[in-house]
Amino acid sequence: MKLAVVTVTEKGVRNGLKIKEKIDCDVFTISKFMKDKTFLIENGLTNFFEKNLLKYDTFLFITASGIAVRTIAPFIKSKDKDPAVLTMDEEGNFIISLLSGHLGGANEAAKILGEITGAVPVISTASDVSGKIAVDTIAVKINGKLESLESAKKVTSLIVAGKEVCIKVPENMENENPEGVILISNRKNIEIAKIIPQNIVVGIGCKKNKEAEKIINAVKDSLEKLNLCEESIRIFATVDIKENEAGIISTAEYFGKELKIIFREEIKKIENNFETSQFVKKSIGVGAVSAPCAFIEGNGKGKFLAEKLKYEGITISIFEEETKKNEQKR
């Protein structure tokens, strides 16, 4: 949780700094109430929120709920894109999960911040108040991505209504992902929600100045060959000497994923376990790039679906992490 605490009162600042003592966060306020370890809200709340929307995934407004609503209203998009937004009164009595309770994590944040501040968490999502679990909550817990928000909503409504809903997962969630399903039911209409685990590490190696379009197409082709969803990618990985390689950077940005840089000293420890190239070794000091980078980022816990796929001046490695590993990352 990357938390920004926002307040416009002196008491709110005090409460924000108390939270900061217990959990890593940044506290923002207006110039009148600035203190040590606080940051200035410049040019109004709306401008502040727009400027910091991508820097933080959770916002706690220690203000009236109306102030928070008016601040965030122009920027609300959809439940799979919105950040978690919460409000707390300046007396610290109640903390309200206001936006993105499940996928954004506002409900969970309300519970955590409630424990820290002593405030009562106020959660209004139907599945939570009825003591049941929503499909999007399951997705969050396994670090997965919903294939369809609409399908997830329909299945969750069945759960809330007390209807029978089956959850079908592989017997061994750590190592298997089914490619086919046999569904036996006498029901005419069945709502199905698919959750895509984000447990694929893509290792990339390429020649200098390789065009982003060609690298992107290589990644897409690799996923297609392995029958993998693009949404299943968790992260890209490459060697430190390629840290500023524009084509690789643009590829990670295209898929909306982080690019992890692996140092050659780490690769040297394990490179003999992979197919190596003497030409590459003479050029950069290690004989393999994509496979060891993917393996190291995956902590070696999982399996290669493709250790090395070769394209024109590009190598792609696809490593599937154990699903359990991703649960621990949350």
94-120 confidence digits (pLDDT tens): 999 999 888 888 999 999 999 999 999
pLDDT at 149: 80
66-70, 165-169, 201-205: range with lowest mean pLDDT: 165-169
**Average pLDDT of span 14-21:** 94
> In this structure, are strands 195-197 and 120-122 parallel, antiparallel, or unpaired?
unpaired
Q: Any idea which fold 198-329 has?
A: Nucleotidyltransferase; domain 5 (3.30.420)
Could you tell me the pLDDT band of residue 29, with boundaries at 50, 70 and 90?
A: very high
Give the class (CATH, top level) of 3-124. Answer: alpha beta
pLDDT score of 330 more than 50:
no
Model confidence pTM above 0.75: no
Host H or E run for residue 188: none
Alpha helices (runs of H) in the chain, residue ranges in sequence order: 10-22, 44-52, 65-72, 106-117, 126-129, 135-141, 149-160, 212-225, 246-255, 264-268, 278-284, 290-297, 323-329
Cα 204 to chain centroid distance, Å, stands at 21
Matching fold, domains 3-124 and 198-329:
no
Domain range annotation of the chain: 3-124, 135-196, 198-329
**Average pLDDT of span 232-240:** 96
Nearest Cα residue to 308 out of 218, 211, 243: 218
